[in-house]
Structures are given as structure tokens and as C-alpha cells.
Structure 1
């Protein structure tokens, strides 16, 4: 049985695709651009050796002949002839990226699924890949056995991706100090939020490494926006759509910096599916809309905040010395309870990574595994 959805027609020459519900003719332009010929693609990078934008827009298919069940010989009006592997061509359809799919979670998530030993992560590629898989599924990790010497966070960050420097530096210190330029540097409670929504681009990943924790308070909280958005959309689809399409101003000001940008509160992919949020009640401003839409917008963001703080959606835990949490800054909102600095010292270090680091690491380990299998 063929492992592809293509149907070959010889007279007239055409290639159709059957998705089980309907059929559609595949444009000769689409087929020509996806050449698999070695003289058309650079072997290592698989980048084209020709300008696909320069293909004649009147290109036609002159010949289409099946070769067995999984290949087809195609001839085009520009003179190019090639035998295509239809199984490989099928991989061009839809999202075939070899990454674990995101799994929305709530407070019932077994925390052992996201806890990994930092020592073993460095030594065992299969274990490292498992940690990356968990991160891509759930949007966060907790690493333990992380040494508490200063700047160790940069080593961890570099293992999972690329450290992003901001106005806070390559990394930043989180402990109670009255003169700090952010409420994170106080002992007050911090509600669920995403960091730096005023920045373009927004930092993709945040790491927080606990060096010392001598307090009974200061519990860390995490909430998955994907799960919360499912509930918000079910309750108020009109409000959900308003948050998805209406830009909001986010602004940060301190003695030496001012950063302002506009973006929607609900972040989506190119297909309109939610991937996270930009959420920080300390930094946003209501957009100028009609009175009715302003009230609906406010009601929707108000409900969003209630759901983020709902124990049913929240993971709450003590981040102990030697533990580090890494989370998708847009997908997973973080916060903390208040604490009393007179009880003892609480000192964390934080840094940001670009969002694509864990995917790159996962793909590299996948290729390494495939190469190892081929050699074996």
C-alpha cells in the first residue's frame, strides 16, 4: 500500500492529493519547487541551488508516470525531468516537524514528569532528550542538583539554548532590595505574569535558579495559558476573540530605560491557534475601544486573571536551593507568594533564552540518534 495521499493521472498529466474528504490538483509550481534532484539541492543543507522565485508562472506538467507505488516520473515545461519519492513529498504536507506536541495541563499534572537531574542531563543524551521532550510538551522543567555557585545559570541556559542579554544584563539577581527597578526585587507577592511584554521580541524562555531559600514563603507558582485559554474561550468566545485581535500597550520605565510596544494579549501561530499570552497587569493599558467593547475587553482580561490564579490551574511549590525552573515565558505564567525577609535570605538568579533553543537541541539529538542507528 502506498504511504502517501497522491493520485497520479497520466492523461492529461496531473498529480492530485486525496485527504479522505476531497481531492485537489497539486500545482506544477508546488511540485517543481520541491525538487529532490541532487543537482538542484545542496546535499548537506538541502538549500536550493536555483532561484525558485524565478520559475515561470505559466509552468505546466508535461508528463506524469507512476514508478512503482511510491514514486512518480514528472516532466515540466521548463525542461526539468525527475523521479519524485512521493513518501518524501508527503512530508511537505502540514506540520511534520519531529517535535512533541504541546499538552495543556492543570494542577493535576504529575510534577515528576517535569523534574530532571541536572547532573544526568549533562551526561546522558537520551535523558537530556527526555527533558527537552517534557519541556516542549508542558512548557516548563524543574532541574535539581544544580550547583549554587554564582553564574551557574548561564551554563544551564547555554546547555538548553542561547542566553539573551537584556537591560537587566546576561543574568539578573532576584532578592529583596528596596531600590530595585522591578517589583520582583521586593518581598511582595507577584501574581501570574509573563516577563518583558514591552520588549520586541519578548524573551522566549526564562530560567530562575535558587541559590538560597531560608524563608517559609515565596512559593513559586506556574499556570499553563493553553489550558486556561480553553476555558476562557468556552466561557466568553467574543471576549476571547477581542483579546486575540486587539493590540495592547505594554510599557516599562525606570531611571535609565523606557521600553514600549503594542501587541495582543493572546498570542497565536499563523493558523490562529493560541500559543501563549502577553500578560502583566502591572505594565499594560486598556486599548481605546467603544465603551461596549472596552467593557467586554476588560471583563475578558479580568476573567483571564481569575483563571490564572485559580488553584485548579496552578502548580505551587517551594523552589529549593539547587533547583532551577525553566519555562516558556509566553505559554507558562509565573508568580510567587509574598515572603518575610526577616526569616532569612532568599536569593535567585534569572536569565532569558531565545525561544528556539530547546527545539534546536531536540532536533540535533534526533539526528544524532538517527546517525547512530545508521552506523549500527
Structure 2
């Protein structure tokens, strides 16, 4: 993927400037000094520093900058360090996420065929496996077909895409109708769109659901992209959106042997404040204590969020057949299920959770094998 930043070298006074067209910014000498790639400063295999960058003098200056050719510049610093820097490497540092596909919000018009992949082929064809990872990172979910319905096959799939996360439900869990189950998922009732385990810290990043048997006409799986829904909510109700983004709520789970409680905001954001998903589960949350006016504003916002998540314009519905497995970002893509009639037959699904970073690591590894990536992010 191309770099977005153009770097301009000024020899007098010495500096390197980021030119982004409408504005420019000089790069701090401290930032440049820390990016050293000199053999005595950076261990080649691990790419870890051999010196304490936190101990660099905060008054460090750039003493000279001499352009060697289009891509290389010799920089000399006030601490005596002198090195030839590759401007392309510096640009990669500025675009350190550019190797990964960006999230693309979607609605019900998305062509779901683009997100269906053959499980055996992901094992044998690295390019095909990479395509499935690319789709997951862009859209937050994929459907794998042809997964054997053997018990615990889900763990093999999970290990192929990342790292299985064990919880109080075990390494994996069984989803079928049983009156004594400790969660409403273990009934045949409809389940609205929700985040699994929002009461846990951290919240499971990825969920897998593998259909072993489906003899019913109901029990359709539902998915909705919270990123697309949040765009609409923010446009309609910016004040309510902001309240959901900054106000922690309580999520609680209780069964005979466990009680888990945590407080977190309903809208999940990254360090830049951009939304990455939601913590949404009307079965498990509680209104925060706010003024009456703020409580009503908060409630209207979460009410509208729920309406949008089930709006046919945003929600997709499909049956999971035996051998189908859906993998989705647990906070970004909210999942649910329509009700089903147990008199029609048996419906048995196994589920497990993965840590969030697994697919990104697998994608980075494939990129490195192809020589398309200079480092693992």
C-alpha cells in the first residue's frame, strides 16, 4: 500500500518535514534519533533497541542533514550519533498501520458472497487464507464453509486464525436448547443483537460459532456492523452519541458459581477517539446514575442504537447450515438469532473466543513471507 506522507529534507537549517499538501510539519530530532537502524543501536533479528531511548537528552538537536540521493539522507545529532537514514523507512514508520486493510463499514446491501470462504482451502492455499483474513479485517466477519462437524473442530479453526481464549464457559461452549443453561443463549428464544461477555475484562475480541446440526427452519443468524450504525446515530443525535461514548455503564453476569461485573462505555473507541465497536447487551447492562435529563438523553440514544441494529437496512440474516462457521469481531459486528421451534428438530452450535490480535498477526506473517512487509506491526 502506498505511503501517504511525502518527506522533504532541508539542509539549512537541517530538518525533515512532512509535506501533506495543505499543511506541513517538521519532525522532531528526538523522533528521528529514536528511529535509528544502526547495527550497534538496533538488534537485527528482533528489531529491538540496544540502547535506552528514554535516556536521550530532551534537548537533542539535529546538527546536519545531507541528502545523498532521492531516498537517503545522512543525519548528525548533537549527541554525536551520525547515520544514513532511508526516507522510505521513515515514511513507513509514519504509516505504521498501512500494511493492514482498513475497516470498511457496511450495511445490508453488502454482497455476503464476498465473505464466504472454503475452510479446507484456507489450510492449503496461503493466498486464499490471506484473502479470508483481508475480508475479516475489512468487514469484521467471515463465514467458513465445509468445516467438519466433529466435536472440537472449532478449536482447530480458532488456532488457525489466532489464539483461543478460555473463559468460565471453557475453551469452547455448546449452544443448544436446555432449560437449565446459565445464559439465554441456551434457550430457543430469539436473541437481539449483542456483544458477548461485556462484563468481562477484557471483553473477548473475536467469536466463532460453528454449526454442527441444524434441523430447524428458524434460528437464523443475524449480524449488523456497529461502525455503520454509529455513523447514522451520530448524524441523528450527536449529543446522545457523545454521552454513550463517554459514560461508563455497569455490565453484570451471575450464575450459581460466578459473578462478573465491570463498568465501560457503550461506544468503544481507539486511542484517537474513533469508534471501533460497541459494548451492547440489553440483557446485562444497567442505566448509569445521571441527572433526569441526561438519563433520558442517554436512554433515547441507546434505544435508537438498538433500533438501528435491527433495522433491515443494516442487519443481515442467514441460516447457518451444518459445517458453516462464522467468525466475527465481537464488539464491532453484533450478532443475534431468531427464535426456533425445538419440535422441528435439533439445533447444535459450538462457540469459542479468540484474542483480537490473532488475525492481524497471521496477516502480517503472510505479508512477511511474501516480502511485502518490512516489519511485523
Distance of aligned partners of 1:95 and 1:232 in 2 relative to their CA distance in 1, 3 Å threshold: farther
1:115 aligns with 2:108: no
Given that 2:233 and 2:305 are in contact with CA atoms closer than 8 Å, whether structure 1 keeps it comes out as yes
Q: Is residue 76 of structure 1 aligned with residue 80 of structure 2?
A: no
CA distance in 2, matches of 1:271, 1:246: 17
Q: Is the 8 A contact 1:4 1:87 kept in 2?
A: no
Deviations 1:97-136 (A, max 9, x none): 4111111111111111110111111111111111111111
Aligned equivalents of 1:155, 1:44: Cα separation in 2: 30
Aligned mates of 1:237, 1:290 — CA distance in 2: 18
In the other structure, the counterpart of 1:32 is 33
**Does the Cα contact within 8 Å between 2:5 and 2:20 map onto a contact in 1?**
no
| Structure 1 residues 306-357: Cα deviation after superposition (integer angstroms, max 9, x where no partner) | 0001111111011011111110000000000111111111100000000110
- By how many angstroms is 1:7 displaced? 2.6
Which residue is 1:208 aligned to?
209
Q: Could you tell me which residue of structure 1 aligns to residue 145 of structure 2?
A: 144
Aligned pairs for 1:266-305 (under 5 A) are 266-305=267-306
8 Å CA contact retained: 1:4, 1:86: no
Q: d(CA) in 1 for partners of 2:111 and 2:208? A: 21
3-state secondary structure, aligned to 1:271: coil
Deviation of the 1:71 alpha carbon? 1.4
In the other structure, the counterpart of 1:253 is 254
Asked if the contact 1:3/1:87 (under 8 Å) is kept, the reply is: no
Question: Is the counterpart of residue 227 in structure 1 residue 228 in structure 2?
Answer: yes
Structure 2 CA distance for aligned equivalents of residues 4 and 307 of structure 1 = 37
Indicate the SS of the match to 2:321: coil
Cα shift at 1:95: 4.5
Contact 2:289/2:295, CA 8 A, preserved across alignment: yes
Corresponding residue for 2:326?
325
Compute the RMSD of aligned alpha carbons: 1.5
What is the CA–CA distance in structure 2 between the aligned matches of 1:370 and 1:350, rounded to whole Å?
35
Q: Deviations over 1:180-225 (max 9, x none)?
A: 0000000100000010000000000000001111111111100010
Distance 1:369 1:6, change over 3 A: closer
Displacement over 4 Å in runs of 4+? none
Which residue does 1:196 correspond to in 2? Answer: 197
Cross-structure match for 1:46: 47
Matched, 1:67 2:68: yes
Matched, 1:348 2:349: yes
Q: What CA distance in whole angstroms lies between the structure 2 residues aligned with 1:94 and 1:248?
A: 35
The size of the alignment, in residue pairs, is: 371
- Which piece of structure 1 moves more, 325-334 or 90-99? 90-99
TM-score, normalised by the number of residues in structure 1: 0.96
1:105 matched residue in structure 2: 106
Taking a change above 3 Å as real, the CA distance of residues 37 and 319 of structure 1, as seen in their structure-2 partners, is same
Whole-Å separation in 1 of the counterparts to 2:73 and 2:245: 44
Q: Describe the SS at the equivalent of 1:82.
A: strand
Cα distance in 1 for residues equivalent to 2:39 and 2:10: 26
| Aligned position for 1:57 | 58
Pairwise CA distance, 1:24: 2.4
Measured in 2, the distance between the counterparts of 1:183 and 1:139 equals 24
How far off its partner does 1:244 sit? 0.5
Q: Is the 8 A contact 2:4 2:95 kept in 1?
A: no
Instruction: Tell me, in whole angstroms, the C-alpha distance in 2 between the residues paired with 1:10 and 1:227.
Output: 47
Aligned twin of 2:127 = 126
- Report the Cα offset of residue 19 of structure 1: 1.7
**Cα deviation 1:266-287 (Å, max 9, x = unaligned):** 0111111111000000000001
Q: Could you tell me how far apart the structure 1 residues matched to 2:98 and 2:43 are?
A: 21
